[in-house]
């Protein structure tokens, strides 16, 4: 493992527990292959520790440690997690401590009880025996050649209930040889000022040479704030999960803690240059875990540096820091301008520059008015930047539509003795020539798609490679029942490109057709070299 010195001091060690504590979150599940992929990405990112799981708790964790021991880790040390020995046996006789050693990880992390309530009412043992359990368990791991970390479970609640006993558990861990004492807010209900006061008190009691850590949960919405408070008070080890995954309301979110430590506190917690990988890491883990990314998350959300209000956009065009607390590129993100009915002319001009469309100030004003009228009718352009790009392109004097739908008709039914059928006929104008075709599909929109493609494929072969990746329908005014306006959002993909388009109407077929036509026209413009990049 490499941990080269840096001019930026002091160093804060990042301990990632996504693979263990993160998977305790509801709806979160990782295969062993998933865990290996995430661990490799975390190692490349430069965290100091990766907690792989609890050996013996399930077959996946056993397999993970078996595979991890033969892998090369460049930055991180792999940690196995467990608890102190049982009250009725010695550390060497405890099966779960033996499994920790058998995992052959360089680091073992165990938790112990620091809240007297848990000792007497949960473990149902004495306070003195609990101290022996902590000390014996850590000494056993150290004697086995492991770096031993101690998670002081419920420490802040325990300290508030009986500060003397909570400190006694830390001293027992010290006697056992723990290299780091991690103070845990296991219930997640402490406040930042409490954390600051208690960590400073602990440091004063134990001395400056003891390395303290912080393990926070987010039940009070203060997981990140409490972690930063602990670091400011002297902790130099911080635990958390990517994207804040974890039980109940989640663990402290490393995707906010890490940039806050580096950019706000001026401390080092990653190798130089790695912070720019944060956005990709957050989305990679979400993708592997098959969990939707939180696009409003601090630093790593796609909306973290998105600007919608016209006043805001006008300001950032002159001075980006006026509405951005850091440069988004520092964490691998980007500034985005969102176009909607709340936009000003600056939004349209900025989006035109972003998409590579030539739009004058006058044309921009006209596009903006068109957007506002369309959104009043049910369109929404925030998540449909390809449709925005086409609105702008259509405002150009030189614009010529690659095709135009003149007429269409769909039919859906079931014939005697057969399954459901969907058919569509379309009449299009393509380069001045009228083409009349029909198509079949598994529904009316699919049939329309097939019919349009059939009509234009010979002229625009790129449409053959366009695939619909998502199709969303939203009812906008449910009180109107079947007469309600519906909005359709279509996500499309072709090779390495992806884009989104929108349509709206009181007729779901017409709304779908509008979004579909935009999607195919966007694909054609990409093929013909127009720079309309929805991911710009």
CB neighbour burial string for 75-90, b if at least 16 within 10 angstroms, e if fewer: bbbbbbbbbbbbeeee
How many domains, the chain? 3
DSSP code string of 259-313: HIIIIIS--B-S-TT-GGGHHHHHHHHHHHHT----TTSTTTSTTTTEE-SHHHH
Spatial separation of the C-alpha atoms in residues 93 and 426, rounded to whole Å: 78
What's the pTM value of the predicted model, to 2 decimals?
0.74
Angstrom CA distances, 14 to 2, 17, 18, 192, 410, stand at: 14, 10, 12, 20, 58
CATH number at residue 222: 3.20.20.70
142 with 42, same domain?
A: yes
Residue 322 and residue 255 in one domain: no
68 and 152 both lie in a single domain: yes
Instruction: Name the nearest CA neighbour of 349 among 341, 361, 338.
Output: 361
**414 and 523 share a domain?**
yes
- Contact indicator for 444, 412 with CB cutoff of 8 Å: yes
List of residues 6+ apart from 353 with CB closer than 8 A? none
Same domain, 19 and 140: yes
pLDDT string in tens for the chain (536-residue length): 444 444 445 699 999 999 999 999 998 999 999 999 999 999 999 999 999 999 978 889 999 999 999 999 999 999 999 999 999 999 999 999 999 999 999 999 999 999 999 999 999 999 999 999 999 999 999 999 999 999 999 999 999 999 999 999 999 999 999 999 999 999 999 999 999 999 999 999 999 999 999 999 999 999 999 999 999 999 999 999 999 999 999 999 999 999 999 999 999 999 999 999 999 999 999 999 988 889 899 999 988 987 766 666 667 677 778 888 999 999 999 877 766 444 444 555 555 555 555 555 545 556 666 666 666 666 666 667 788 778 777 777 778 889 999 999 999 988 777 788 899 999 999 988 999 999 998 889 999 999 999 999 989 998 889 988 888 888 876 666 667 888 888 999 988 788 888 888 888 999 999 999 999 998 888 877 654 444 33
Question: What's 86's DSSP letter?
Answer: P
Q: What is the CATH number of the domain that holds 419?
A: 3.30.160.270
Residue 280, domain member (yes or no): no
pLDDT of 531: 42
- Would you say residue 85 lies in a domain? yes
Q: Is residue 522 part of a domain?
A: yes
Query: Which residues are 424's β-sheet partners?
Result: 410, 439
Distance of CA 437 to the CA centre of its chain: 44
Q: 125 with 169, same domain? A: yes
The verdict on 374 and 434 lying in the same domain is no
- The verdict on residue 84 lying in a domain is yes
Tell whether 147 and 183 lie within a shared domain: yes
Please report whether residue 532 resides in a domain: no
Give backbone dihedrals phi and psi of 229, rounded to 5 degrees, phi first: -65, -40
Residue 534 included in any domain: no
- Residue 395 tokens read as 């405002």
> Does residue 293 sit within a domain?
no
Q: Of 394, 416, 432, at which residue does a domain stop?
A: 394
| pLDDT, position 533 | 41
With 0-12 / 13-18 / 19 or more C-beta atoms within 10 angstroms meaning exposed / middle / buried, residue 312 is buried
Q: Are residues 437 and 387 in the same domain?
A: no
CB 471, CB 488: distance < 8 Å: yes
b/e burial code for range 276-287 (CB count within 10 A of at least 16 → b): ebbbebbbbbbe
CB of 324 within 8 A of CB of 335? yes
**Residues 359 and 504 placed together within one structural domain of the fold:** no
DSSP state letter for 149: E
Query: Structural domain of residue 221, as residue ranges?
Result: 13-271
d(C-alpha 278, C-alpha 284), whole Å: 10
* 224 and 323 fall within a common domain: no
Examine the fold and report which residue of 394, 412, 444 is the final residue of a domain before the chain moves on. Answer: 394
Domain's final residue, options 362, 394, 426: 394
Is the same domain home to 150 and 256? yes
- Pairing of the two strands 49-53 and 77-83: parallel
CA distance 160 to 416: 76
199 within domain boundaries? yes
């Amino acid at each position: 493992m490499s941990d080269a010195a840096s001019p930026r001091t002091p160093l804060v060690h990042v301990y990632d527990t996504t693979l263990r504590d993160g998977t305790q979150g509801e709806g979160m599940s990782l295969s062993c292959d998933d865990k290996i992929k995430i661990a490799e990405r975390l190692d490349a990112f430069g965290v100091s520790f990766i907690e792989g799981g609890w050996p013996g708790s399930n077959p996946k964790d056993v397999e993970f440690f078996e595979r991890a021991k033969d892998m090369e880790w460049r930055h991180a040390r792999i940690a196995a997690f467990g608890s102190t020995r049982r009250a009725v046996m010695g550390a060497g006789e405890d099966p779960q401590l033996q499994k920790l050693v058998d995992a052959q990880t360089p680091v073992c992390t165990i938790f112990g009880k620091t809240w007297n309530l848990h000792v007497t009412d949960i473990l149902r043992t004495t306070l003195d025996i609990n101290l022996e359990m902590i000390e014996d368990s850590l000494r056993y791991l150290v004697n086995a050649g492991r770096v031993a970390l101690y998670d002081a479970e419920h420490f802040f609640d325990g300290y508030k209930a009986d500060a003397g006993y909570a400190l006694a558990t830390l001293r027992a861990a010290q006697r056992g040889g723990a290299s780091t004492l991690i103070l845990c807010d296991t219930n997640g209900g402490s406040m930042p000022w409490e954390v600051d006061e208690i960590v400073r008190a602990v440091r004063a009691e134990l001395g400056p040479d003891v390395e303290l850590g912080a393990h926070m949960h987010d039940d009070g919405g203060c997981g990140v704030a409490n972690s930063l408070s602990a670091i400011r008070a002297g902790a130099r080890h911080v635990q958390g999960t990517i994207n804040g995954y974890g039980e109940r309301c989640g663990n402290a979110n490393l995707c906010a803690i890490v940039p806050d430590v580096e950019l706000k506190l001026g401390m080092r917690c990653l190798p130089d240059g790695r912070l720019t990988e944060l956005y990709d890491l957050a989305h990679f883990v979400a993708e592997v875990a098959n969990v939707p990314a939180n696009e409003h998350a601090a630093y790593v959300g796609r909306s973290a540096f998105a600007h919608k209000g016209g006043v805001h956009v006008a300001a950032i065009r002159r001075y980006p820091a006026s509405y951005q607390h850091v440069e988004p590129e520092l964490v691998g993100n980007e500034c985005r301008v969102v176009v909607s009915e709340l936009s000003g002319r600056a939004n349209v001009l900025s989006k035109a520059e972003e998409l590579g469309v030539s739009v004058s100030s006058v044309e921009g004003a006209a596009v903006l008015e068109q957007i506002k009228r369309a959104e009043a009718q049910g369109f929404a352009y925030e998540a449909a930047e390809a449709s925005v790009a086409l609105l702008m392109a259509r405002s150009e004097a030189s614009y010529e539509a690659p095709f135009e739908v003149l007429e269409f008709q769909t039919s859906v039914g079931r014939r005697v003795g057969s399954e459901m059928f969907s058919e569509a006929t379309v009449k299009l104008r393509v380069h001045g020539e009228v083409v009349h075709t029909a198509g079949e599909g598994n529904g009316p929109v699919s049939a329309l798609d097939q019919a349009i493609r059939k009509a234009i494929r010979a002229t625009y072969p790129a449409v053959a490679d366009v695939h619909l990746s998502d199709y969303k329908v939203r009812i906008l005014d449910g009180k109107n029942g079947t007469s309600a306006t519906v909005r359709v959002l279509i996500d499309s993909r072709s090779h390495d490109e992806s884009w989104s388009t929108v349509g709206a109407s009181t007729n779901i077929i017409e709304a779908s057709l509008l979004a579909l036509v935009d999607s195919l026209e966007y694909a054609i413009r990409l093929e013909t070299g127009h720079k309309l990049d929805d991911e710009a």
